[in-house]
Amino acid sequence: MCIDVCRAYADPIPPLSSLDASYSGLLVLGGSMDADSDDAHPWLAVTRERIAQAAEAGIPTLGICLGHQLAAMALGGTVERSPFGLTVGVHQVTWEPEVLFDPLMRLLAGDDRALHWHRDVVGELPEGAVKLAGSIDGQVQAARFAPTVWGVQFHPEVDAAAVAVWANESVDELEQIGRSVDDVVATATFAENELIKTWQPLAFGFARLVRERAAAVAPGGTRGGVIPTPRPWSA
């Protein structure tokens, strides 16, 4: 599987025609800006547009943290400031029963921990969206926003080295919530192996959906060019 990286703040975002013809999946990662700060970051609006277009085209899409929030907004949901302020560290994620039938996250149906670094959260879900996981305070931690669009508020992709970079760039913010660089990094380091084991199935599952779509739309594909709708799990 080949991956093209588009730094939306610096690189041209591919048009839908290119996305649909050249790519079989869309992964939207995080960032420190607010999901609706379009004036300062015009590429946010374009990213939301691409997510909506990918949903319409049936392209498997996964949003992480900011990407999760952008996906919610793109499809009609809302994003708001968390009443609990900045959330940093390794915290519990509790899966909803609906996850057992989800084509991407069905193998994650347990009480798991995840790495968090955010101050905004999804407020209202888009119409037809399914909440797949939440936190103890009721915030949406994972959702299926459309048949081929998912989002997670936490960071399954981040290791302790990345956390160290973020922490050293956020000393004042951490002090405001009673945390230090050392304790945040230590927590991430201690949990790193656990988090890798927990979230690898998410990466593998998304890669599977991307490959299925690639096979469906390839010339001479075994599915005759019909784009598959991810199938729900059945025992």
- Dist CA 118 CA 97 (whole Å): 25
Q: Does domain 16-217 have CATH number 3.40.1190.20?
A: no
Query: Would you write out the chain's pLDDT as a tens digit for each of its 235 residues?
Result: 788 888 888 888 888 776 666 788 999 999 989 898 889 999 999 999 999 999 999 999 999 999 999 999 999 999 999 998 899 999 999 999 999 999 999 988 667 899 999 999 999 999 999 999 999 888 999 999 999 999 999 999 999 999 999 999 999 999 999 999 999 999 999 999 999 999 999 999 999 999 999 888 876 554 444 444 454 433 2
Output the pLDDT for position 160: 96
Which residue in 56, 157, 173, 192 is the catalytic one? Answer: 157
Output the pLDDT for position 221: 55
For residue 146, the 8-state DSSP code is E
- Dist CA 12 CA 104 (whole Å): 29
Domain ranges of the chain: 16-217
Concerning whether 155 is annotated as a catalytic residue, the answer is yes
Cβ atoms of 66 and 33 closer than 8 Å: yes
In DSSP terms, 92 is beta-bridged to: 113
Which residue in 96, 118, 155, 212 is the catalytic one? Answer: 155
Concerning whether 65 is annotated as a catalytic residue, the answer is yes
Q: How many CB atoms lie within 10 A of CB 160?
A: 18
How deeply is 233 buried, as exposed, middle or buried, from its count of CB atoms within 10 A (0-12, 13-18, 19+)? middle
pTM, whole model, 2 decimals? 0.89
